[in-house]
Copies of this chain bind each other. A is one copy, B any other.
Amino acid sequence: MISYSRGKGNLENWVVSEELFQPDSLGKSEAIMYLGNGYMGLRSAAEEPYMKEVRNLFANGTFNKAGENEVTELPNIADVTRLDIRIDGDRFSLEFGKTKEYIKQLNIKTAELMRSFVWTSPKGKVLQFEFKRFVSLDNLHLIGMKMFVKSLTDPVHISFDTGIDAQMSNSGAQHFLEGERRIFDKKDIQLIQTTRESKIDVVISSTHKVFVNDVESINEPEMNMARRKVWLTYNIKLEPNDRLEVEKLTTVYTSRDNDLDFTEYTTRHLREKSLSDLRNCAIKGYESNFQLHKEAWNNLIWSSYELEINSENPYDLLALRFSLYHLTIMAPAHDDRMGIAAKGLSGEGYKGHSFWDTEIFILPFFTFSNPAVAKSLLTYRYFCLEGARKKARENGFSGAMFPWESAWPPDGEVTPNLGDIDIVTGEPTKIWSGFIEQHISADIAFAIYQYFNVTADQEFMNHYGYEVIFDTANFWVSRLEWNEGKQAYHINNVIGPDEYKEHVNNNAFTNYMVFFNMKLAIRYYETLMKEKPSILKKLITKFDMNKAYSLWKAKVGKIYLPQPRAEDFVIPQDDTYLTLKEIDLTKYKNQKKLRTIYRDYNSEQINAIQVTKQADILLMLYLLNQTFISEAVPLSNAVKEANFYYYERKTLHDSSLSLSTHSILASEIGDTDLAYSLFRKATEVDLGPRMDTSDEGIHAASIGGIWKATVFGFAGVRVVDGKLRINPKLPKQWRHLKFKIHWQGQPITLVLSHTTFSIKVENKKKIEFELNNHIYECDDVLNIDFEYING
């Protein structure tokens, strides 16, 4: 039971609420309401424990391999949020007694979790509870928690255990070697542990303040320790209407942090840092720390992005804010050695690894809205080059073959080789994506191209960008397969974006993206040769630039680029797709659950049907449209429409990456109603009412897609070969849309309605843009009336 309309007044459309406690459906609110700040992510499990809870705390970048045969993953650090509460000696749980007025809320504006209810104990005592929690955006190391309890009817004895519990694991995989536990001054607790293989120290420190009727309690708690655990037990007697208030502040530090100011790292320094930071925070107190956090959210996020939607469905604005909230907390803006995980920092799913999801679905938001973060994320890919080269070598190729899944940069490919055992044959299933889902290298090249076009960040290109584009082109050169019969370069045995088709030849998406990647390399090489040959020279230590260039030139023109069928303009997704059996997919498209097709067909059978898991050809059309190779590609409206309707019918959207692309394409071809309906579905991947969608974590790419479908789809913003183009296609439900993007280093604010367009150029540097096929210039504010110009 998720509701969207509980925020009132200045919190309207800022609040996601769970209105019913369901002990069998805990994952939803734990994941979609998780707290974080890019440095760490804290899953929003309840304070009191439940059987089916998943209690996660992740610190970005702290990857570790749990065992020899396992791939590296983000360890579940420890729990600091659990409170074992006893009321008159009996365990408190919402599974007992009676609960009224239950509400659990994520306040997106203040990035605060709140939970409250009135609870009648099995013995008939009535208590009012409220819990609050935040993970500071002001001090990335800080977690704040607060509990209020009021006894409404009876004297009551409340006791609770609160501490640091490192008995946690990743579904049984323990990443940490046990370390020291300490209690300082009978109140500050600390736990140190070290990852087993990567040897990262993690120090967690917590401190408490307890108030009864606003008077700080001086009762000393009981001090307890067990293996991998340290905790305090408080015992409080409340008279009717007495008000208990407990504040807990926790700091998390790791030896991987890039903000440590010691000249030489030692664990002792880290523990002292952690403790001194904790004590400084404690002096300020919970409320002041929370104020600083709130201001950070306001200044860095909400004031900065200036997003507004006036929709007849207020949910839409909430969904966009939800998207921005999650994009903020998932991104390690503080450290360019870290990427964004497919589940953000909200769950164990996909082990904290980064996929192409970042570049194609998430990065565009940052490139347009917060280029510094985009730069950091692309710099991460630059640091991954070493692993990409290693992967290329190991697979018999040259250049940089980017890992399908990435973790800590030097790790290289971290996709597991084997998946779950096929429960019928008993054999482990091979995971092919780490070997043959190769388009990611071109996707990264595309993302750098897009970043450079939008930001004009030449320095990034000089240091990082060119090298990635050149060396991915080098990879493709070695990857192309000469087909003597066709006198063309083919790319065989790949998986394209549509993962329902494994081991295909000439996946159109892949071939076109490779073509683009190599063309881009050639183009940049030629420009640099003319304008900045020193940049090229520097790269000579990495590979032979001249030879590379001549190979790109020699091969790029002969890459096989599948063309639309004459009869219906449909571009074949791969060599065989259009020859496969067609079946009636209505049933699977209308079902509420994903992947229901597996109930009737197994993987092999699905491979032989014209059915697509997720956007593939359509994604290609969307991406290529933004490039300078659009002439080499059939991108007429007729082709777009033909392919959209052909493939949309075949696409089950069984991947969370799919809907937003289809929404954008639907906007592009003018089917705004369908675009809006697809957008709504995309927002519902996590935010929707289904209670089991997000158990393993939120869908970061889908969340990026919400913003994309809005700005690229409805606002029609596009950068095409370096030129800003805006073709708004506002859905009829939306009255106006306001957002801010960064264009060539300058923030510009756009306000759209069905009849008007306004642009404000913040730094008053003149820009040029195309709006509905008219070219405009602006160096301040420009208001345009569509009816006037079109009429």
For the complex, give the distance between the alpha carbons of A51 and B161 in Å: 14
CB-CB < 8 A to A67: which residues of B?
177-178, 196
CB-CB < 8 A to A66: which residues of B?
174, 178
Q: A69-B177, A423-B183 are in contact. Are A227 and B172 (CB under 8 A)?
A: yes
Bitwise interface map of A from 221 to 245 toward B, beta carbon under 8 Å scored 1, else 0: 0010111110000000000000000
Identify A178's interface contact among B24, B69, B178, CB under 8 A.
B69
Residue picked from A70, A95, A173, most chain B C-beta under 10 Å: A173
Q: A49-B51, A182-B426, A225-B420 are in contact. Are A172 and B172 (CB under 8 A)?
A: no
Q: A182-B426, A225-B420 are in contact. Are A51 and B91 (CB under 8 A)?
A: yes
For the complex formed by this chain, how many copies does it contain in all? 2
The A187-228 residues at the B interface (CB cut-off 8 A) are 196, 223, 225-228
Shortest Cβ distance from residue A465 to the other chain B in the assembled complex, whole angstroms: 38
For the complex, give the distance between the alpha carbons of A169 and B76 in Å: 15
For the complex, give the distance between the alpha carbons of A23 and B182 in Å: 30
Shortest Cβ distance from residue A101 to the other chain B in the assembled complex, whole angstroms: 21
Identify A180's interface contact among B180, B421, B424, CB under 8 A.
B421
A91→B24 contact, CB < 8 A? yes
Q: A51-B91, A426-B182 are in contact. Are A228 and B171 (CB under 8 A)?
A: yes
The A132-184 residues at the B interface (CB cut-off 8 A) are 166-174, 177-178, 180-184
For the complex, give the distance between the alpha carbons of A510 and B421 in Å: 58
Does A689 sit within 8 A of B, measured CB to CB? no
A228→B173 contact, CB < 8 A? yes
A174→B171 contact, CB < 8 A? no
CB-CB < 8 A to A70: which residues of B?
177-178
Shortest Cβ distance from residue A352 to the other chain B in the assembled complex, whole angstroms: 14
Identify A172's interface contact among B51, B95, B167, CB under 8 A.
B167
Shortest Cβ distance from residue A695 to the other chain B in the assembled complex, whole angstroms: 11
The A421-440 residues at the B interface (CB cut-off 8 A) are 421, 423-424, 426, 428
For the complex, give the distance between the alpha carbons of A699 and B368 in Å: 67
Q: A91-B24, A196-B67 are in contact. Are A169 and B174 (CB under 8 A)?
A: yes
Does A777 sit within 8 A of B, measured CB to CB? no
B182→A421 contact, CB < 8 A? yes
A180→B428 contact, CB < 8 A? yes
Bitwise interface map of A from 282 to 305 toward B, beta carbon under 8 Å scored 1, else 0: 000000000000000000000000
Interface class of chain A by DSSP: loop
Does A96 sit within 8 A of B, measured CB to CB? yes
Does A264 sit within 8 A of B, measured CB to CB? no
Does A261 sit within 8 A of B, measured CB to CB? no
The A75-108 residues at the B interface (CB cut-off 8 A) are 91, 95-96
Does A68 sit within 8 A of B, measured CB to CB? yes
For the complex, give the distance between the alpha carbons of A51 and B420 in Å: 29
CB-CB < 8 A to A184: which residues of B?
426
CB-CB < 8 A to A423: which residues of B?
183, 186, 223, 225
Residue on B nearest A184 in the bound complex, by CB? B426
Shortest Cβ distance from residue A472 to the other chain B in the assembled complex, whole angstroms: 33
> How many of chain A's residues have a CB under 8 angstroms from any CB in B?
42
CB-CB < 8 A to A196: which residues of B?
67
Residue on B nearest A223 in the bound complex, by CB? B423
Q: A23-B91, A69-B178, A70-B178 are in contact. Are A173 and B227 (CB under 8 A)?
A: yes
For the complex, give the distance between the alpha carbons of A180 and B91 in Å: 38
A183→B426 contact, CB < 8 A? yes
CB-CB < 8 A to A428: which residues of B?
180
Shortest Cβ distance from residue A185 to the other chain B in the assembled complex, whole angstroms: 9
CB-CB < 8 A to A229: which residues of B?
171-172
B167→A167 contact, CB < 8 A? no
A178→B173 contact, CB < 8 A? yes
CB-CB < 8 A to A424: which residues of B?
183, 186
For the complex, give the distance between the alpha carbons of A23 and B95 in Å: 14
Shortest Cβ distance from residue A74 to the other chain B in the assembled complex, whole angstroms: 14
Residue picked from A96, A171, A226, most chain B C-beta under 10 Å: A171
A172→B180 contact, CB < 8 A? no
Shortest Cβ distance from residue A262 to the other chain B in the assembled complex, whole angstroms: 21
Identify A95's interface contact among B68, B96, B168, B420, CB under 8 A.
B96
Q: A51-B51, A51-B91, A177-B67 are in contact. Are A169 and B169 (CB under 8 A)?
A: yes
For the complex, give the distance between the alpha carbons of A424 and B220 in Å: 12
For the complex, give the distance between the alpha carbons of A67 and B228 in Å: 13
Residue on B nearest A427 in the bound complex, by CB? B182
CB-CB < 8 A to A180: which residues of B?
421, 428
CB-CB < 8 A to A227: which residues of B?
170-173
Residue on B nearest A89 in the bound complex, by CB? B24
Residue on B nearest A418 in the bound complex, by CB? B180
Shortest Cβ distance from residue A431 to the other chain B in the assembled complex, whole angstroms: 14
For the complex, give the distance between the alpha carbons of A376 and B184 in Å: 49
The A404-424 residues at the B interface (CB cut-off 8 A) are 420-421, 423-424
CB-CB < 8 A to A167: which residues of B?
169, 171-172
Bitwise interface map of A from 613 to 639 toward B, beta carbon under 8 Å scored 1, else 0: 000000000000000000000000000
Q: A51-B49, A426-B184 are in contact. Are A225 and B178 (CB under 8 A)?
A: no
CB-CB < 8 A to A91: which residues of B?
23-24, 51
Shortest Cβ distance from residue A118 to the other chain B in the assembled complex, whole angstroms: 20
Shortest Cβ distance from residue A197 to the other chain B in the assembled complex, whole angstroms: 11
Shortest Cβ distance from residue A202 to the other chain B in the assembled complex, whole angstroms: 14
Shortest Cβ distance from residue A453 to the other chain B in the assembled complex, whole angstroms: 42
B166→A169 contact, CB < 8 A? no
For the complex, give the distance between the alpha carbons of A223 and B225 in Å: 40
Residue on B nearest A52 in the bound complex, by CB? B91
For the complex, give the distance between the alpha carbons of A180 and B70 in Å: 12
A168→B172 contact, CB < 8 A? yes
Shortest Cβ distance from residue A34 to the other chain B in the assembled complex, whole angstroms: 20
B51→A183 contact, CB < 8 A? no
CB-CB < 8 A to A228: which residues of B?
171-173
A-B contact pairs, 16 of them (CB 8 A): A24-B91, A51-B91, A67-B178, A68-B177, A69-B178, A70-B177, A167-B169, A169-B174, A171-B227, A171-B228, A172-B227, A173-B227, A173-B228, A174-B174, A181-B421, A225-B420
7 closest A-B pairs by CB: A167-B172, A174-B174, A67-B177, A171-B227, A172-B228, A223-B423, A182-B426
User: A167-B171, A170-B227, A181-B420 provided; 17 other pairs, C-beta below 8 A?
Assistant: A23-B91, A24-B91, A51-B91, A68-B177, A69-B177, A70-B177, A70-B178, A167-B172, A171-B228, A171-B229, A172-B174, A172-B227, A172-B228, A182-B421, A184-B426, A186-B423, A223-B423
